[in-house]
A and B are shown apart, each in its own frame.
Chain A
């Protein structure tokens, strides 16, 4: 739910409940006040009546009471407490039943006690209450409409800078040098947010750049000694006084330094993939790349007498050619290196999957750990990073890579 919806919900519920409570209080207050007013009127009527009787020495007729209805009843009671009550009121002119209010009291006239009841229409106050209720209702609807419109248009407008910042943040790419395109803002909070985001992104980019430089420098620092080792060996083997035992030693050093080099290069590549530093995605025909790769590996396949069965359907992918090349290299060279002489290799490409199967050791590998760093078989001469790279490249492009052992075939499957 959007913030404005949350706000809408809260403000509308609050408004409605306040208005309802206010309306109810209003309603009862008006009824109470109007009743007090009526009772005061009726008290005046009683006083006037008593004055009238004292002055004219007779009971008044209905005409004298205007619209009030007065009845006199003889009674033997001598004491009575004046009481007010709600009653039905019959309008004498219109002969219409209305809600009314009456007062009952005792008067003494010509040696006789009379119970007198004066009733008065309550219609006026009822009408008032209705009008007030209507006005309250209208106010409520008006307020709701106003709130709704404000929330919808004003809030949306107010929050525009926020969504602007949000979209900039979503598009933020640490390896891109471009800065945020943030607009100046009159709202203090957003201006502050803008500033904070700007500062944060600059700091992140700074740190990132430092890290990038560090990895590059680390590589430089390691490559130079490696270059010294290699060139010293190259120079050493020119010496004609060396004997075969020396050559064996030198060969071992060549191999070790070569391995160190590959390890270093691979680690740097991993860092680059993990930080998404490889750019230059293009549309590639994967089936063609696989065919090229097979030609490249032909020698190796021939030497081990491996039979390749391929079934390639056309498949286009959007990826970096450099990384796809590494991906195929690693999968193919694994499938060949861990294959048995006179083994088989199957390559199947469909629009949804790339499956590479090969014969090899009769035991399944650990599907859970096979893609972890430095996991390798005991006979493997590799760096132990080949499949980690495969996995990372797949992750980068949101592909899924699986291993399973099926019908004595080691199977790697990439799901696009």
Chain B
């Protein structure tokens, strides 16, 4: 996150292991935006090589690689007692694969296709969970979010949010400065429970409510609506 504002999160070092060059570059660009450092690999061999030489904060791992299954990276990390948090990004959405990956040391599992905003939120959640299990407070200017207690303070005054508003605020903070599409928000809030196109109206309602609550608590208006496409949370 932004250095200086959130003392818990420094600049992070990522290793992106993904054989699809276009996807790899997009992820790197998106994550780099916060001053993080991203390195990329397109194969298992390259990944093991980099992991042998350098230490990373977080590894984004595709399971289907041209020279083998990404599970080998998890094995490597576990055998070498490494601390990197691992987020699997795989096209294989089957439950077996998820369970297998989580059992051998992955921290989270994201099924392709995904929105970059979702990826960013997950990566931060995974990293935070692994690193600061005791101190789970995110601070953004006057907003302070307690992840454990699921509560929000504005200038030290507690604010009551619904579950969806809370999730949305967290999602915005994780992706501050970025335009987040309505699709990405809908998928984040409702998952694939229901068809996404039913929910655009709700997003509007939820955001309107969240914005009103924040402003009533004397918080700055950080949420900008971008015509038709989505929202941007920006200081």
> Does B2 count as interface, using CB distance less than 8 angstroms?
no
**A223 and B112 in contact (CB under 8 A), knowing A247-B227, A300-B198?**
yes
Closest residue of chain B to A299 (Cβ to Cβ) is: B202
**A329 engages B194 (CB within 8 Å):** yes
**B92 engages A333 (CB within 8 Å):** no
Contacts of A130 in B (CB 8 A): none
Contacts of A303 in B (CB 8 A): 201-202
Q: Find A238's partner among B22, B23, B179, B194 (CB 8 Å cutoff).
A: B179
**A219 engages B92 (CB within 8 Å):** yes
> Does A261 count as interface, using CB distance less than 8 angstroms?
yes
- Of B41-49, B113-121, B123-131, B145-153, the segment with at least 4 beta carbons within 8 Å of chain A is B113-121
**B112 engages A337 (CB within 8 Å):** no
> Does B228 count as interface, using CB distance less than 8 angstroms?
yes
- Of B25-33, B53-61, B76-84, the segment with at least 4 beta carbons within 8 Å of chain A is B25-33
**A220 and B92 in contact (CB under 8 A), knowing A227-B113, A247-B228?**
yes
> Does A57 count as interface, using CB distance less than 8 angstroms?
no
> Does B196 count as interface, using CB distance less than 8 angstroms?
yes
Within 8 A of A (CB), among B138-179: 178-179
**A224 engages B94 (CB within 8 Å):** no
> Does B181 count as interface, using CB distance less than 8 angstroms?
yes
Interface mask (A298-324 → B, CB under 8 Å = 1, otherwise 0): 011001000000000000000000100
Contacts of B221 in A (CB 8 A): none
**B228 engages A237 (CB within 8 Å):** no
**A235 and B202 in contact (CB under 8 A), knowing A223-B113, A381-B195?**
no
User: Least Cβ distance of B154 to chain A in Å?
Assistant: 26
Within 8 A of B (CB), among A215-249: 216, 219-224, 226-235, 237-238, 244, 247-248
User: Least Cβ distance of A221 to chain B in Å?
Assistant: 8
Contacts of A337 in B (CB 8 A): 198
**B197 engages A381 (CB within 8 Å):** yes
Contacts of B116 in A (CB 8 A): 231, 234-235
Q: Is the interface of A mostly helix, strand, loop or mixed?
A: helix
**A224 and B20 in contact (CB under 8 A), knowing A237-B230, A333-B195?**
yes
**A234 and B26 in contact (CB under 8 A), knowing A224-B112, A227-B112, A382-B195?**
yes
**B93 engages A265 (CB within 8 Å):** yes
> Does A257 count as interface, using CB distance less than 8 angstroms?
yes
Contacts of A262 in B (CB 8 A): 192, 195
Closest residue of chain A to B64 (Cβ to Cβ) is: A220
Q: Find B226's partner among A247, A258, A381 (CB 8 Å cutoff).
A: A247
Q: How far is the CA of A231 from the CA of B16 in the complex (A)?
A: 15
**A235 and B30 in contact (CB under 8 A), knowing A226-B113, A228-B23?**
yes
Q: How far is the CA of A219 from the CA of B113 in the complex (A)?
A: 11
Q: Find B228's partner among A232, A248, A297, A299 (CB 8 Å cutoff).
A: A248
For B93, B117, B195, the residue with the greatest tally of chain A CB atoms inside 10 Å of its CB is: B195
Counting contact residues on chain B (CB < 8 A from A), the size range is 35 or more
**A296 and B193 in contact (CB under 8 A), knowing A231-B26, A233-B181, A250-B229?**
yes
Q: Find B193's partner among A238, A265, A329, A382 (CB 8 Å cutoff).
A: A329
> Does B184 count as interface, using CB distance less than 8 angstroms?
yes
Q: Find A228's partner among B20, B179, B181 (CB 8 Å cutoff).
A: B20
Interface mask (B203-234 → A, CB under 8 Å = 1, otherwise 0): 00000000000000000000000111110000
Contacts of A227 in B (CB 8 A): 20, 23, 91, 112-114
> Does B8 count as interface, using CB distance less than 8 angstroms?
no
Contacts of A322 in B (CB 8 A): 95
User: Least Cβ distance of A61 to chain B in Å?
Assistant: 115
Contacts of B112 in A (CB 8 A): 223-224, 226-227
User: Least Cβ distance of A404 to chain B in Å?
Assistant: 25
Closest residue of chain B to A235 (Cβ to Cβ) is: B26
**B183 engages A258 (CB within 8 Å):** yes
User: Least Cβ distance of B96 to chain A in Å?
Assistant: 9
User: Least Cβ distance of B194 to chain A in Å?
Assistant: 6
12 A-B residue contacts at CB 8 Å?
A220-B91, A228-B26, A230-B115, A254-B183, A255-B183, A258-B183, A258-B196, A265-B93, A296-B194, A300-B198, A333-B198, A381-B197
Interface positions of B (Cβ within 8 A of A): 20, 22-23, 26-27, 29-30, 64, 91-95, 111-117, 178-179, 181-184, 192-198, 201-202, 226-230
| List of 3 A-B pairs having minimum Cβ-Cβ separation, nearest first | A223-B91, A227-B113, A220-B91
